[in-house]
Amino acid sequence: MAKGYWVSVYPAISDPERLTAYDKLARSAVQAGGGRLLSRGGRVVAHEAGITQRVVLIEFDSFEQAVAAYESEAYEKALVALPDGVERDFRIIEGID
């Protein structure tokens, strides 16, 4: 079964301190959904039109599990806490078997 991944790239964060509430709620929701944080805001080397701002990568045992975690009540609460002024490109992708 192919793994599932959440990939988030943040082109703009106007108030990083307000992101903390979302981070706490999202971390709990991800763990409850079986996700594992692989990368969050570490070093980035961007090429072409790449973005060097915050990048987050989370792994799930399956694509379906990744989708279910996003649609969970716990993650919905986290999304409500995501502050205005945060621009985010979020995707759920299926890995290769």
Segment 45-80, tens digit of pLDDT: 889 877 788 899 999 999 999 999 999 999 999 999
Each residue's pLDDT tens digit, 3-29: 999 999 988 888 888 788 899 999 999
DSSP annotation of 17 = G
Tokens of 4: 């599932």
**Percentage of residues in the chain having pLDDT higher than 90:** 60
Token pair, residue 28, equals 């709990």
Q: Give the per-residue pLDDT at 54.
A: 87
pLDDT at 78: 93
Q: What is the CB-side half-sphere exposure of residue 34 using CA atoms within 13 A?
A: 13
DSSP class per residue in 26-85: HHHHHHHTT-EEEEES------TT---S-EEEEEESSHHHHHHHHTSHHHHHHHHHSPTT
Q: Are 27 and 77 in contact (CB under 8 A)?
A: no
Percent of the chain with pLDDT over 70: 100
State the pLDDT at residue 21: 87
Pairing of strands 86-94, 36-40: unpaired
Is residue 84 predicted with pLDDT exceeding 80? Answer: yes
Indicate the pTM of the whole model. 0.90
Distance CA 29, CA 33 (A): 6
For position 33, what pLDDT does the model report? 97
